[in-house]
Amino acid sequence: MSQNMLLYFMGGICGLFAAIVIAYLLISKKMQTKETRYVRQLVEGTKKTSFSMEVFYQKFYIRCVRIPFLKRYALKLRRRLEIINLEDEYLTRKQVAQILFKAILVIIPLTIIVIRMTISNYLLMCSLLLFELFFIESLVGGMVDGIDNKLLKQQIDFFAEIRHAYHEYNMVEEAIYEVAQDDEKEVSRQAEKIYEILISDDPETELEKYYDIAPNSFLKEFAGVSYLTKEFGDRKDKDGSSLYLKNLNNITQEMQIEILKRDKLDYVFQSLSMISALPILFLDAVKGWAVGQFAFTSQFYNGTLGFLVQVALIILTYVCYVLTRKLKDNGSTNIAINTENPWQAKLYKKEPIKKFVNCFIPKEGTKQYRKIVQLLKDSASKLKMEWLYINRLTAALAGGAISLIILIVAHQMAINYQFTEPTSDYNLLGSLSESQKRTAMETTEMDNYFLKKYQYDYNITQEKLSEEIAESDQYGDSTPEQLEKIDERIWNKLQIIQSEYIKWFEILISLVVMIIAYYGPVWLLMFQKMMRQMDMENEVMQFQTIILMLMKIERVNVEMILEWLERYSNIFKEPISRCVNNYESGPWEALEELKNEITFQQLIRIVESLQAAVEQIPIREAFDELDTERAYYQEKRKESNERMISKKSMIGRAIGFAPMVSLFVVYLIIPLCLIGMTSMMDAFDTMSNMT
């Protein structure tokens, strides 16, 4: 390289370095401006230098909704929580992630422990994993119910603050806005939504939308009363007090009664669900104790009958657990069923399946069709007729297939028992010693030679088997008396092995199981209907509270009262909806039709008062007794809740303890008594023959 070229190269490097230094100085000067320092402070304030659980829960939620099984469960939880957290996406995701994360933290270690401890006993493994699912479901349900109950309790303080704010501002919307500023409480989000409705251009339409997403009926009542007060103004009651504040007090009293009812239900049922599932844990323990203490029970517990009793106990435990959970329903927000496109709808869209299902659905207009439709309405089920019959057919096919598999496994277990059980003549209390067990296993191994050889030879005779046993290396040196016992023992074992196959009556049992499974979903709807009927009196008393709030507001008419009753009804929703639809064609006739459809006497009295208010007397006079006897109705409602809780408690205890009683009576006491008596009779016969 020439000297000039080297000088040019060094000059270029120096120039580039100088440009970099100048640029650095200019940028540094610019970074010291007031605006830049402010932006840098904002950025640094949002940075997390340590691990953040808030960020973790958001990321965990995103991953959960990408995993198929977790996605389905996460969306179920989401549908329930997003009603409570009204339009707060961040909090909804956080709570769903928190619940799922806690459940996973519990379920993974439990699953590993269960699998490691029961790797050699598949039935026990399945039983314990089923119990684990029960436990996790109870845990998750309890956490979600806790969030819902927390919101309800916050409403008590919220309404108290509304009273003070209303005294200060004397305007409904301003009082709600003032109290809604507390962002830490879940009820504040509901208050903000109600405030937005009241100041909107079309509050009536927005209010109807809110009724569909409100987490409980008390917030619906509060929103409706607030709207009516804003539209028609507040007025003074007979004693000079504000009618709006008096209505708030009525709603508060209703909430207090509901909170007490939920607390009592939670107390009564806090352990019943787990008690109903506990027998699954003790199946193997009871079996091990019985076999260890009474050796003669081994053939029962390790045989076909013992296995079938175990399966029956597991099914009974599952059914009782489901019924107990249904019975405990305390009126909180339920996990919504996907009514848009569930798996039943996807199956029904397939033409072959649709034709098959339609063969079982009763024709429209028939008595059976009307009966099923009415049952779906009475049980408040979200299922359609087609979905119900897909559930029934799926349950029937699954029940039949599972019962056949269980019978096949039971026969195989009985065969394996003959090949693996130590062969001894001990038929007494206690168990075999180690030396006795080794000798018994050696006898079993020698017997197995002949059993395996003639297992599938159904033409073998006892004489031919006896000849081969006498000439064999295993028993060739035995005495004639010993050979006779050996022949009889091996022949009996061979007869048992060859008789272990699916028989005609077992096919019949599978068909019976299919029929029971087919009617199972209908019976579950009937159970739900029975539980709803227990709440009839409670719902009618809520109607009385609604009428008490509306009857003193000016411009309120019978049609508006019916619309409010329809909005808050559950059990009587269908007949009241029909009455509202037919009201324009004739108020008196529509109410008369409603009265003929219902049979509950307290609701009939309300309908008769509404009929009187249509033409004869004002609404306030028609329901004057509700105001004068308010204290009586409050006490009556409390007493009604006590009776309902007492009845549910009695039914719940009977259902919850049924699996435990069955475990000890059917699986332990009865087998011990029957097998013990049989063994004693055999022992006495042997002693008599010896003498």
Residue 236: strand, helix, or coil: strand
- 227 is written with which tokens? 């709207």
- For residue range 345-368, list pLDDT tens digits in order: 888 888 888 888 888 888 888 888
What number of other Cβ atoms are within 10 A of residue 416's Cβ? 13
Split at pLDDT 50, 70, 90, the class of 333 is very low
pLDDT of residue 94 exceeding 50: yes
Dihedral (Cα; 568, 573, 576, 577), 10-degree rounding: 100
Which candidate, 262, 246, 4, 279, places its Cα nearest to that of 130? 279
- Asked if residues 190 and 84 have their Cβ atoms less than 8 Å apart, the reply is no
Mean pLDDT, rounded, for 485-503: 82
- For residue range 527-538, list pLDDT tens digits in order: 888 777 767 777
Residue 326: strand, helix, or coil: helix
- For residue range 43-80, list pLDDT tens digits in order: 454 555 556 778 888 888 888 888 877 787 788 788 77
pLDDT of residue 518 exceeding 90: yes
The pLDDT, as a whole number, for residue 133 is 77
pLDDT of residue 334 exceeding 70: no
Distance CA 280, CA 663 (A): 9
Mean pLDDT, rounded, for 266-274: 80
Distance CA 564, CA 576 (A): 10
The pLDDT, as a whole number, for residue 514 is 92
The pLDDT, as a whole number, for residue 13 is 62
Dihedral (Cα; 659, 663, 669, 670), 10-degree rounding: 70
Distance CA 64, CA 101 (A): 10
Distance CA 678, CA 667 (A): 17
- 608 is written with which tokens? 């008769």
The pLDDT, as a whole number, for residue 38 is 46
Task: Give the start-end residues of each E strand in 532-617.
Answer: none
**Partner residues linked to 236 by β-bridges:** 242
**Partner residues linked to 430 by β-bridges:** 294
The pLDDT, as a whole number, for residue 508 is 92
Q: Which amino acid is at 202?
A: D
The pLDDT, as a whole number, for residue 183 is 62
Mean pLDDT, rounded, for 474-492: 79
- Asked if residues 92 and 78 have their Cβ atoms less than 8 Å apart, the reply is yes
Q: Which percentage of the chain shows pLDDT scores above 70?
A: 85
Split at pLDDT 50, 70, 90, the class of 459 is confident
- Asked if residues 83 and 216 have their Cβ atoms less than 8 Å apart, the reply is no
Q: What is the mean pLDDT of the chain?
A: 79
What DSSP character marks residue 616? T
Residue 432 domain flag: yes
Residue 446 domain flag: yes
Residue 397 domain flag: no
Domain that holds residue 441: 421-498
3-state secondary structure 345-389: HHHHCCHHHHHHHHCCCCCCCCHHHHHHHHHHHHCCCCCCHHHHH
Residue 621 domain flag: no
Split at pLDDT 50, 70, 90, the class of 397 is very high
- Asked if residues 557 and 619 have their Cβ atoms less than 8 Å apart, the reply is yes
**Partner residues linked to 294 by β-bridges:** 429, 430
Q: Cβ neighbours of residue 441 under 8 Å, at least 6 residues apart?
A: 422, 423
Residue 443 domain flag: yes
- 277 is written with which tokens? 């599932």
Residue 508 domain flag: no
Residue 320 domain flag: no
Report the residue count for the chain: 691
Phi, psi of 45 (to 5 degrees): -70, -25
Distance CA 565, CA 558 (A): 11
User: Between 290 and 185, where is the model more confident?
Assistant: 290
Q: Tally the domains of the chain.
A: 1
Mean pLDDT, rounded, for 31-44: 51
**Partner residues linked to 242 by β-bridges:** 236
What DSSP character marks residue 429? B
Residue 503 domain flag: no
